[in-house]
């Protein structure tokens, strides 16, 4: 009799674990206004990034991140993982947390680029403000849904650029990484917005 009760308990706990780990359906618990605002914010940040890339290309002739592949590793510019946001394994809490953490990291990377050039200063400032607004929007939504951790994400390790060339090359690489991150974020948000 104890064996049957134990098997039933194990079966029930396994079923509960499977239910908890099951990917969420689109937009579960996310208000449409939040998703639309996020989509608008991503598009605005993408426009800021394109403006930064164009200014770096026009002013400093640094036009392609592929030309700077060797510097990417030595400068220590990290990539932001979004594994919890894949459509097969979407976990809403983890995905929003990774989006928020990624935005926080890019905010730190952009701060490290301060002084890149006078021409880029206003664009960099606008980009930082837009990223902060987007990260705040996600954090508030997580809080509204009771999913926000007690402490906001930290920026992690942010490289130090020691020369003007490193800041400019870092700007190209950060902009390229940020653009890739935003493209993924846009796909994720569109997936979440699907009915």
Domain boundaries, the chain: 30-193
pLDDT, residue 12, reads 38
Rg of the chain taking only CA atoms, in angstroms: 20
**Distance in angstroms between the alpha carbons of the first and the last residue of the chain:** 47
Residues 85 and 188: beta-carbon distance below 8 Å: yes
pLDDT, residue 43, reads 95
pLDDT, residue 11, reads 37
Residues near 138 by beta carbon (within 8 Å), at least 6 away in sequence: 38, 96, 99, 100, 103
Query: Using CA atoms, how far apart are residues 99 and 96, in angstroms rounded to an integer?
Result: 5
Task: Give the residue among 171, 59, 52 at the shortest CA–CA distance from 113.
Answer: 171
Residues 82 and 97: beta-carbon distance below 8 Å: no
- What are the residue ranges in the chain where pLDDT is below 50? 1-27
Query: Using CA atoms, how far apart are residues 173 and 161, in angstroms rounded to an integer?
Result: 12
Residues 102 and 80: beta-carbon distance below 8 Å: yes
**C-alpha dist (Å) from residue 187 to 29, 47, 63, 181:** 18, 16, 25, 10
Q: Which CATH number fits domain 30-193: 1.20.1250.10, 3.30.450.20, 3.40.50.300, 1.20.1250.20?
A: 1.20.1250.10
Query: Using CA atoms, how far apart are residues 129 and 181, in angstroms rounded to an integer?
Result: 17
Residues 109 and 158: beta-carbon distance below 8 Å: yes
Residues near 149 by beta carbon (within 8 Å), at least 6 away in sequence: 97
pLDDT, residue 132, reads 94
DSSP-derived letter for residue 65 is G
Q: pLDDT (tens digit, 9 = 90+) per residue, 6-18?
A: 343 333 333 333 3
Residues 189 and 91: beta-carbon distance below 8 Å: no
| Element of type H or E holding 112 | helix 92-112
């Amino acid at each position: 009799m104890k064996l049957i009760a134990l098997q039933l308990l194990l079966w029930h706990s396994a079923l509960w674990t499977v239910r908890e780990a099951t990917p969420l359906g689109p937009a579960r618990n996310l208000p449409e206004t939040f998703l639309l605002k996020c989509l608008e914010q991503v598009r605005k940040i993408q426009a800021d990034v394109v403006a930064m890339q164009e200014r770096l290309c026009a002013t400093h002739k640094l036009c392609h991140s592929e030309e700077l592949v060797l510097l990417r590793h030595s400068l220590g510019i990290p990539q932001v993982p979004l594994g919890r946001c894949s459509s097969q394994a979407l976990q809403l809490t983890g995905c929003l947390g990774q989006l928020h953490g990624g935005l926080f990291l890019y905010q730190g990377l952009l701060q490290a680029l301060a002084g890149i050039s006078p021409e880029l200063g206003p664009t960099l400032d606008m980009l930082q403000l837009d990223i902060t607004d987007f990260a705040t929007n996600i954090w508030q939504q997580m809080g509204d849904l009771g999913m926000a951790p007690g402490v906001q994400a930290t920026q992690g390790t942010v490289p130090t650029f020691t020369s003007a060339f490193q800041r400019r090359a870092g700007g190209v690489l950060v902009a390229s990484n940020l653009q890739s991150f935003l493209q993924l974020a846009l796909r994720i948000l569109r997936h979440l917005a699907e009915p």
